[in-house]
Amino acid sequence: MFDSPVRPLPTIKMMGSARAFIFLSLIFFMALALPACVVKRRLIVRNGASRAQPTLLVADRAELLKRITDQFNAIQNFSATVDMTPALGTTEKSRVTEYKDVRGYVLFRKPADIRIIGLFPVLRNTAFDMVSMGPTFKLSLPSRNEFIVGRNESIAPSRNKLENLRPQHFLQAILVRPFPPEGKALLENFTDEDNAYYILHEVEETQPGALELLRDIWFSRVDLRLARQILLDKAGNILTDARYSEWRQFDDFPFPKHIEINRPQDEYGVVLDVVKMDINKGVSDDKFVLNQPPGSTLRTLGTATDSRDVSSTPQGSSR
């Protein structure tokens, strides 16, 4: 006569436990069957790696910094024959014009002497010839009968994309300089299903508590070779985006056979494919002499405007 209305609860709990047991049992048996009917395994094969190399290489910050320094210090000079694909325009403006079958020559000597010559297709006459042996450069454009001199630092991009060419742009991209002793380097492991890179971020403390990103250097975790370098301005915009692939041995020195250089703000880029390369065999002084062709128009680039002069006498060397 004093039965409680909650007396049926044990039966309900028991029924709930039974249902839970049945539910868990179903999940268990489904899990056993999944590998055969639902689960799909795929082998991730990275670019440049074979199926025999499923694991990625591991490195720390110190080893990657040393790789950059060793690569830079090993090369004192070189002369290279390359196939060029210059491109004018920018992907940001969704319009790029490429010029195929351009033969080129690149000469380099430390500390910072560089000359690049580009030849037009078919006839192989000179498209451009530029040289730098310090803070200034010279650029000859025979098709326009112009000879341009100025400083390596671009003040403001020209509407004529060829006038934005600078030998130092090529030098910064082709030879990746080491991090300075006082530099700060941050290491990022950027690895997912599609990418496998180590990225070194070079930063500078411009003032207490304020950091500026100077450049990013990417290493492929397939072989720990340099894969990409991005140079940035103070606003974080890309100045140079250089990509390296198809590493080969030239005179027993490792060097990328394929280099892509993009200068988005200057609206030009170039792809270099090395055909022949001589490393540390010496490059003589005369290879860096570029005289103004007689009768050509001399342009001296300044901060805002440039001066023009028609000269019929050769100018001095680029020193």
Domains of the chain in start order, with CATH, are 61-310 (2.50.20.10)
pLDDT at position 3 is: 52
Q: Tell me the two tokens of residue 23.
A: 């539910």
Torsion angle of alpha carbons 84, 89, 90, 93, nearest 10°? -160
**DSSP letter for each residue of 140-178:** EEGGGTEEEEEESS-SS--SSGGGG--HHHHHHHHS-PP
pLDDT at position 55 is: 86
Q: Bigger pLDDT: 181 or 79?
A: 79
Model-level pTM? 0.77
pLDDT at position 60 is: 97
pLDDT tens for each residue of 158-214: 676 667 788 999 999 999 999 998 889 999 999 998 899 999 999 998 888 889 999
CA–CA separation, 307 vs 298, rounded Å?
A: 8
CA–CA separation, 157 vs 166, rounded Å?
A: 11
CA–CA separation, 294 vs 74, rounded Å?
A: 40
Per the DSSP assignment, residues forming a β-bridge with 104 are 82, 118
pLDDT tens for each residue of 209-254: 889 999 999 999 999 999 999 999 999 999 999 999 999 999 999 9
pLDDT at position 301 is: 83
Helix, strand or coil for residue 91? helix
